[in-house]
Structures are given as C-alpha cells and as structure tokens.
Structure 1
Amino acid sequence: MVNHSSDRPEPRASSQIAPESSPKRPARFIYGERSSLDPHAHNADYLADTNLFRRSYVRTIGESEGMPLDSTTAWLVGNNVAFYKLTSNSCVEAKRTEADAAADKINGVVFDYVLSGEYSEETAADLVSLRSGDLGMVQSTVEVTARSRRVRMATIFLPRTRLAAALETDLSDDRFILRSLSSAPLAPFVGAQMRLLFESYRRMDTQDFEIVLESTAELLIHLLRGELSRQGPPQELSSKEFTRAIAFIEENYHRPELTPDDIWRGINVSRTQLYKMFSENGLTVAGYLRDVRLRRFVDALRTTDLIGVGRLAWTCGLDMQAADFTRLFKRVYGMTPRQARAALQAGQSVVAEKPIT
C-alpha cells in the first residue's frame, strides 16, 4: 500500500490559521487537517472545527490487505464555499444518515473529483461510481453510503442558497440528487481546477487559493446550468436516453467485458434510470445486451465459414465456456451453433424461438 504522505506538505507559517473550536459562524476562511491515525480522531467529529459536517462522515474505518488505514482529510471553509482533500492508502466505507444531515443542518451539494483510486456513492435509489478523472455530485441532505479504495479526491461543497440564487432552481429533481458529471462539456476544466486545488493546498498563498476556489465554484455553477438546460421533461428525456442506451450497446456489444454498469456510466444516467427505461419497454438490460450479441453472432455465421464457433462468439462479446454458450444458443434458437451455421449455408433462416430474459 502507498501512503501519500508526500501530498501533505508542511504549511507555510503565514497560512497556519488555527480553526475555531466551536464557531457560531466560520471565519472568512479557516484551515484544518486531521489524520485517522490521530489518537483523538475516533473520539471527535473530524469536521467539527469547520462548522460544516459536525457529524462524522467516516463511520467505518478498518484494515485492508493487512495494512492499517491512513486516511487524512484536510479542509478550507468559507461562508459560501468549502474545499476538502482526502488522501487514503486503504479502503474506507462511510455512511451519512438522514439524522446526521438533519443534525448538521447543512443543505447543499457536494462535488467530488477523483485524482486516483476508486470512489462510489450510493443512495436508496442510485449508485454512482467514480474513477480517476471522474466528477460527480451528491446532495448533502440525503442518506448516502460512500466507499473508496486508495483514493485521492478533491471535494467542493456549495450551499443550496448559493446554487438556488445562481440557477433559479432548488435542484429538487431526482436526476440531480446523485449524479455523474463526467460527460459534461465543462467537466475536464472543472477537474483541472480541482486537481490544482488539491495539489496546491497550503502551498499556495491563502488569498490566491481563495481566488482559484471561487473561480472553480463559479465554473461548477456554469456546468450545472448547462446540465439543467439539456434536461427535457422526464418522459422525453427517458425516450432520448433509451435511444442512447441502445446505440451504446450496438457500438460496444463486441467487448466481452461490457456490463450493464458500463452502459449506465457510458450514457451518464444512474443505474436505476437505466433499468427503469428498459423495464418500461418490456426488456432487461442484460437480456437485451445478450440478444444483440447473439444476433451479431448469427450474422457472422452467415458470412464467415473459416473461423471457429468459439472464436466467432468471442468477437461478438460472448465470452463463456463452449458448453454454456451452446446451451444458451440452443435455448434461444432451438439448434446448436454448428447446426445454425449449416442451415445458414444451405440458405435457410435461423430465427430466435424465445426472447432472452
């Protein structure tokens, strides 16, 4: 395991501003930092000094692969924006309940940018998984379970009051409760700014850091404005996104590693939305994907007689044991792949007898 301690340089003397212990209102900007290896970390809400998340977000910490967890969170908090950086050399599972959110009385949106490692957030309805270079958002008032693995991550919090004033909406739409923003046109620019903030934390002059943080916050607001403008009515949106899902499958079916999770990430919808769209059309995601692969396999049988059945199936994304593939094909088409090839070469049709579920 790698301890990213090099990411936490000693702060400049001029930037060492001690956080207030229990402020009614935070200073213009305050710094703070705490490691899970701190002997006091387990007995205190690790963001208490920031007057933001007084309830500890990290609920479960332990060991991974025999190495003790070393998870360090640093922050800089102002009245209208907050920045956090997380560096962890292990695995973390964290949970923030509705009771935590209610006790904190913190209402806004959290934007996460992953520099390295893996990070996911899951609500009762949706799941968003982020990898290096991905950007996502989650509202602070919902119950959420977060999981990370060897992650370095930059986070920006914006109060709902600021967002509502800028966007003229309270973001109550379910599509903006938990969402991946990686495909947004401005996402690469936001990511570059958040990476700069992560790497420059306490290395940059406080005033300069504030300027970059504020500009990144405004860029996030512009990104959200663009995402909102692209959203149509739910029914219209569902139809468009279903078409995108079908197109994505048609373009990528040949990849054996392609799964339903890759599909919803690829078209920037939630897992729940993807499964709901297919269900509304009388389909399952996995069943449709396999159906496309089988149809492409039959097309290939019709035009190719020099490649073996197993190899041909693999080029169509059907990566499974030969016996399993033969059983599947026979269940759907009523004959074996070799029988189907012979029938096609004889000019006969090969049609599915049963849909795949």
Structure 2
Amino acid sequence: MAESASNERFDNWLEHINRACGPFSGQLLDGGFHGSLQEYHANAMKLSVVETAHSRLFRSQYEVARSNDAWFYTVFQLDGEAVLEQGNNQAVLHGGDITLIDASRPCSIMYTQPTKQISLLVPRHLIEQNRRSGDLPCAQRLSADMPVVKMSQRLLHESMKNPTLNICESEAALEAIICLLRPMLQMRDAPHSRRDKQLERVMGLIDSHIQSEDLRPEWIASEAGMSVRSLYRMFADKGLVVAQYIKNRRLDLCAQALRTASATEKLAGIGYNWGFTDHSHFSTAFKLRFGVSPGEYRKRWQ
C-alpha cells in the first residue's frame, strides 16, 4: 500500500514537471520519495522551484524530439545535492552553485537526498548571443564562491520577490542574469580540437549564406571540402542535425530582427529576408520555437 501511494505521488509530481518544464521521464530511487514543484511566471521570467528527494529525471532523444529546444535550463541550486549529466560532463551541485543544461540534448538529473533548486528557462538566443560554435559548458559546475554566481543568485531572488514586473523589466532582469554568467560561459567556450575548428568554419559558412535559398547540406559539404556524410557526422557528434540547425539559426535571426522591427514592417518580408519563402511555414516554425507567433513576439518587444 505504501509503495503504491509513493508511486502515485511520484507520477503526479512527474506530470507536473512535464507541464512546467517540458517532457521528462523519471524513476524512483530507494530511500523514500518526496516531490513538489512551484511555478513562477512574470512575463519573460519563467521558472520552477523544485523540491524532491530520492528521484531521477532524464531526457532521452525521445523526450527531446517531443519538446521545444529553444531553451536552456539554468539551474540554481538552493539546498542539498543534485548530480546533473549531459554529454560527457557531470556537475555535482550544492547550495549556491549554478549550471546550464541544453534542452535540445539528452540529460539526467539525480536527487539522492533532499534537494531544492530553481530551474530558470532562458531563451536560446540569450545564451548563444555573439557565438557560433564550440561547446557551451553544459553540466559544468559554476561555484557558489564566484562573485558573479552570487550576484546572479541575488538578482534571481530579488526578481522573484516582485511578481508584478512588466515585460520590459522582466526581460531586463533575465538578460542581466545571463550577462553576469556569460564571461564564464565564454571562458570555457573556445574550440580546441581540429574537428571543433572545422565545425566553426562550417557554421561561419552557414551564417554568411543564411539568406540563400540554396543553403543545403550538399552545397555546404562541397564548399567545406568534405562529404555530406562527414558533414552529418560532425553535426551529430554535437547532438545537432544540419537542416534543423539551419532552420533554427534562421528563426533566431528572425527573432532578433523582430525585436527592432517597426509595427508597419511586413512579417512575411522579415521571414523572407532570412530564407523563409513560405510565410505560413515561417509562422508555424516560429511559434514552435518561441511559443508565440511572429506578430505577438514583435508586440511584446514593442
């Protein structure tokens, strides 16, 4: 009976996690499960306060394929210990630590003891601003001892105390948090291997021809002096798909243009400028990535 009740509590908690944070699978660990989740939304600030013990959350390629990959989870550890893994990296977080998890790649979060943490959803364009390649330091611990980590924690908590923040104020707070963390992200960002440098060159090639209708894997491979198969493998090693990367890059650039576009500028024209010849496809793809239509996105920034 007790085991059945624990399973039911876990299933309810996991369902809440999926609604708030996107698709996750989970499992109970030995020791007696506890789990709760509180959502906090103030315009651009979207986060969840997660408390749990003796559980594991994970995302396989199946969950990733069913979710919106336009986000990063910035995890602020408050109490207890959590072990986060992504790719070849593992971060063991304690109170005050921070780490980054990419929503577009599989990951695992282990809670072997009572834990409390905040998961802040950060739009991909804020994390990837001013960079094209190299591995971001996902699932790497940013220590609570670092001054910028302390300031980021403080700014997050102060923002949470003000649920009446308007759209401009909440966006400014979110950008400030990421600006504080960005030097550490860039410091660990430089590509080292020959393959990383090759990927950087290919991404530069994509950026310089992003508006072209002819931007396809076959053309990219030819220009980069490699086979199409090698191109696919190089992207797959980073958890990326060439065509999806191109589409997402175009959408991110459209979003950047929409943030400064006038109310009279035609949405179809903005999409066309960045390689979307079909407005209906552009609008659908944009909403899937950012959660709102291009028109609504522009209104929010105005």
TM score, norm. by length of structure 1 = 0.45
The structure that is helix-richer by fraction is: 2
Residues 1:124 and 1:210: Cα distance change in structure 2 (over 3 Å): same
Q: Give SS of 1:104's match.
A: coil
Q: CA deviation at 1:92?
A: 1.6
Name the residue aligned to 1:143: 106
Relative to structure 1, is the Cα distance of residues 58 and 219 closer, same or farther in structure 2, using a 3 angstrom cutoff?
A: farther
Q: Is the 8 A contact 2:27 2:56 kept in 1?
A: yes
1:157 paired with 2:121, answer yes
Match 1:105 to one of 57, 64, 68: 68
1:223 CA drift (Å) = 2.5
C-alpha distance in 2 between matches for 1:98 and 1:109: 16
Alignment of 1:197-212 (within 5 A): 204=161, 206-208=163-165
Change (3 A) 1:230 1:185: farther
**Of residues 83, 93, 101 in structure 1, which corresponds to 2:47?**
83
CA distance 1:63–1:215, shift in 2 (3 Å): farther
CA contact (8 A) 1:184 1:227 kept: no
Q: Secondary structure at the match of 2:119?
A: strand
Match of 2:85 in 1: 122
- SS of residue paired to 2:72: strand
In the other structure, the counterpart of 2:142 is: 181
Tell me how far 1:94 sits from its aligned partner.
Answer: 1.4
Greater Rg over alpha carbons, structure: 1
Please state how far the C-alpha of 1:191 moved relative to its aligned partner: 1.5
Aligned residues: 186
Q: Give, in whole Å, the separation in 1 of the partners of 2:72 and 2:10.
A: 31
Shift in Å, 1:127:
0.6
The whole-number CA distance in structure 2 between the counterparts of 1:226 and 1:83 is: 23
d(CA) in 2 for partners of 1:180, 1:39? 27
Structure 1 residues 211 and 60: CA distance shift in structure 2, 3 A: farther
Distance 1:190 1:209, change over 3 A: farther
Larger RCO (CA under 8 A, 6+ residues apart): 2
Q: 1:193 to 1:210 in 2, by over 3 A?
A: farther
Post-superposition offset of 1:46: 2.1
What's 1:59 paired with? 26
Q: Is the 8 A contact 1:95 1:145 kept in 2?
A: yes
Paired with 1:232 and 1:146, the residues of 2 have a C-alpha distance of: 23
Q: Is the 8 A contact 1:138 1:177 kept in 2?
A: yes
Specify whether residues 177 and 157 from structure 1 end up closer, same or farther in structure 2 by C-alpha distance, changes over 3 A only.
same
Are the structure 2 counterparts of residues 61 and 227 from structure 1 closer, same or farther at C-alpha, using a change threshold of 3 Å?
same
Letter in 1 for 2:15: D
Q: Which amino acid aligns with 2:28?
A: I
Q: Shift of the alpha carbon at 1:146?
A: 0.7
Structure 1 gap ranges (5+)? 1-34, 237-357
Q: 1:205 to 1:181 in 2, by over 3 A?
A: closer
Q: 2:130 aligns with which of 168, 171, 184?
A: 168
